[in-house]
């Protein structure tokens, strides 16, 4: 197994590196990458980005939002979190066998004095609390398996940055959702840094595979290709937001100037249909506003820029742009 050294904290680069390894590096080799991201929300391939994140919080704190190749749910990364990636040949024994990849992590943690176990479909837990989620991506006869390890993450931020869906709140209650994650560092016999943990884990994982191992440092040609993938996919709005599936938004608010209700159809991140109702007054036909919003990206910057160009008070007397804007997300 070859351990690829990667010190980047850029989630766009790091996800591009995974794609490069699984699709373009020597398919006869097995690879391991241990890596970290600056504060980021990493969205599953099939998820609706806008429904998964607390957008106001994400924007306020400058948190990256990037979609990955694999399925599964949204996760929060910071520099207290460590990610691991295995890339190997896909076989019937390995395909959809998450335990094949979580067991070496569990055994490595046991060597450090931490008792962890694989639970459910793709989680690793300690005392019933989740600290690792896992996902897979397949390309030809190769599999990319990656997972998170909450080592010493800001757990309050983990809860703030992700939207808890109504069905989860109804079935588990907010308190149980907030209490079901934990950090590995709290269970270690002696406290160590995340970097020290990364070095120990790498040594144990390579030893666990019982194969000849080596370290690979990315060359100039590797870096150039990874940057190309970064710019073509992971740095684009079309991938991170526009790939979201179709969804509908209906939201109403009462303001001093009257009640406003907005109905939006969103497809690939674009407003494809817009209807505005309410008991407000205005000099201009609201149909003009509906038409202007249709076709725009459903993102705050684009919508705000559009509204700023309008004599908005002529559409909705006594209602501000910001008040109307609050009905659009």
Give pLDDT, residue 293.
97
Same-domain pairing of 204 and 297: no
Same-domain pairing of 266 and 219: no
User: Could you give the count of Cα atoms lying within 13 Å of 159 in the half-sphere of its Cβ?
Assistant: 12
Give pLDDT, residue 207.
79
Same-domain pairing of 38 and 80: yes
CB 247 within 8 A of CB 263: no
Distance CA 327, CA 41 (A): 24
Same-domain pairing of 9 and 65: yes
Same-domain pairing of 308 and 226: no
Q: Which of 212, 240, 268 is the last residue of a domain?
A: 240
Same-domain pairing of 285 and 144: no
Q: Where are the alpha helices (DSSP H) in the chain?
A: 11-24, 49-52, 55-60, 99-111, 155-161, 166-172, 174-178, 194-209, 220-229, 237-240, 286-293, 300-308, 321-325
Give pLDDT, residue 329.
87
Give pLDDT, residue 175.
37
Q: Which of 205, 222, 240 is the last residue of a domain?
A: 240
Give pLDDT, residue 167.
47
Strand-pairing partners, residue 65, are 41
| Dihedral sign, Cα of residue 187, residue 191, residue 194, residue 195 | negative
Give pLDDT, residue 73.
86
- 24: domain CATH number? 3.30.930.10
The domain in which residue 289 lies consists of 247-325
Distance CA 294, CA 271 (A): 5
Order the strands of the 75-77 sheet from edge to edge: 64-67, 40-43, 75-77
Domain count, the chain: 2
3-state helix, strand, coil in the chain (%, to 5): 35, 30, 35
| Dihedral sign, Cα of residue 8, residue 13, residue 14, residue 18 | negative
Same-domain pairing of 70 and 32: yes
Using only C-alpha atoms, what is the Rg of the chain?
A: 23
Same-domain pairing of 27 and 83: yes
Give pLDDT, residue 169.
37
Same-domain pairing of 80 and 46: yes
Give pLDDT, residue 210.
54
Same-domain pairing of 156 and 269: no
CB 236 within 8 A of CB 244: no
CA distances to 61, 162, 207 from 268, rounded to whole Å, are 25, 21, 45
pTM, two decimal places: 0.81
Q: Which of 240, 257, 278 is the last residue of a domain?
A: 240
Q: Which residues of 185-195 are buried (b: 16+ CB within 10 A; e: fewer)?
A: bebbeeebebe
pLDDT per residue, tens digit, the chain (329 aa), is 899 999 999 999 999 999 999 999 999 999 999 999 999 999 999 888 888 898 889 999 999 999 999 988 899 999 999 999 999 998 877 777 899 999 999 999 999 999 999 998 889 999 999 999 999 999 999 999 999 999 999 998 988 898 755 444 343 433 334 448 999 999 999 999 999 999 999 998 887 665 566 899 999 999 999 999 999 999 999 999 988 888 899 999 999 999 999 999 999 899 999 999 999 988 999 999 999 999 999 999 999 999 999 999 999 999 999 999 999 98
Same-domain pairing of 182 and 55: yes
**Which residue, 169, 171, 167, is CA-closest to 159?**
169
Contacts of 247 (CB under 8 A, 6+ apart): 48, 50, 51, 266
């Amino acid at each position: 197994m070859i351990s690829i050294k990667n010190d980047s904290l850029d989630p766009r680069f790091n996800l591009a590196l995974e794609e490069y390894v699984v699709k373009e590096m020597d398919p006869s080799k097995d690879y391991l990458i241990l890596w970290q991201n600056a504060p980021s929300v990493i969205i599953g391939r099939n998820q609706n980005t806008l429904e998964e994140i607390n957008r106001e919080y994400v924007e306020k704190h400058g948190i990256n939002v990037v979609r990955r190749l694999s399925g599964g749910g949204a996760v929060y990364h910071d520099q207290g979190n460590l990610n691991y990636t295995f890339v190997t040949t896909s076989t019937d024994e390995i395909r959809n066998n998450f335990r094949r990849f979580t067991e070496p992590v569990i055994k490595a943690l046991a060597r450090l004095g931490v008792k962890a176990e694989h639970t459910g479909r793709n989680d690793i837990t300690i005392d019933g609390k989740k600290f690792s989620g896992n996902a897979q991506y397949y390309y030809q006869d190769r599999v990319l398996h990656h997972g998170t390890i909450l080592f010493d993450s800001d757990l309050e931020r983990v809860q703030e940055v992700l939207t808890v869906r109504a069905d989860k709140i109804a079935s588990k209650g907010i308190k149980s959702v907030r209490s079901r994650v934990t950090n590995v560092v709290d269970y270690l016999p002696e406290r160590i840094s995340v970097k020290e943990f990364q070095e120990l884990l790498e040594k144990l994982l390579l030893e666990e595979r019982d194969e000849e191992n080596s370290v690979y440092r990315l060359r100039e040609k590797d870096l150039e290709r990874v940057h190309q993938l970064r710019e073509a996919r992971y740095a684009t709005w079309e991938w991170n937001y526009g790939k979201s599936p179709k969804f509908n938004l209906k939201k109403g608010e009462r303001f001093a100037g009257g009640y406003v209700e907005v109905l939006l159809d969103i497809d690939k991140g674009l407003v494809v249909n817009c209807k505005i109702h309410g008991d407000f007054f205005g000099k201009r036909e609201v149909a003009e506003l509906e038409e202007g919003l249709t076709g725009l990206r459903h993102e705050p910057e684009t919508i705000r820029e559009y509204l700023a160009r309008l004599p908005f008070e002529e559409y909705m007397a006594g209602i501000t742009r910001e008040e109307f804007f609050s009905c659009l997300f």
